[in-house]
Amino acid sequence: MRRAVEVAAGAGADVPIGAVILGPDGTELAAAHNERELTGDPTAHAEMLALRRAAVPLDGWRLEDCALVVTVEPCTMCAGAIVLARVGTVVFGAWEPKTGAAGSLWDVLRDRRLTHRPEVIGGVLEEECSALLREFFRGHRRSE
């Protein structure tokens, strides 16, 4: 999670969310932060970018034995992509009561109707991850 926090800190004008994909042996396959503002792409969430990037060294889209570590609970779009990529484990920091899809607002990742359900571990370094968001939005409000 510390690596994901480090990645999130480099998000610049974007909401500081960082994601890291670890391979079956624990090596980092990919890392990304939000790039929506940078690219103008509404789907450029940290998790989506990390999933795409991790598929390259694996030479395929199935991330079954991989772990996704992300600083904030995934939204529904990202949770859907995580399920479709068959990620084995999802670890996240801050809970997101407004848009979270790993237990807060919805629980897409553990929905029994889906064909794949990753192991989910939430609240890891929660305060540190939440602080990144609080600081960003405090500064963002002042600059408007």
- CB neighbourhood size of 119 (10 A): 12
Alpha carbons within 13 A on the beta-carbon side of 56? 8
Residues of the binding site: 45, 75, 78
Per-residue pLDDT tens for 94-140? 999 999 999 999 999 999 999 999 999 999 999 999 999 999 998 76
Residue-wise pLDDT for 32-86, tens only, equals 999 999 999 999 999 999 999 999 999 999 999 999 999 999 999 999 999 999 9
Q: Is 73 a catalytic residue?
A: no
Return the residue matching tokens 């690596």: 3
Known binding-site residue numbers for Zn(2+)? 45, 75, 78
Q: What's the distance, CA 96 to chain centroid? A: 12
Active-site hit among 6, 28, 47, 73: 47
Convert 87-96 to b/e letters by CB count within 10 Å (16 or more is b).
bbebbbbbbb
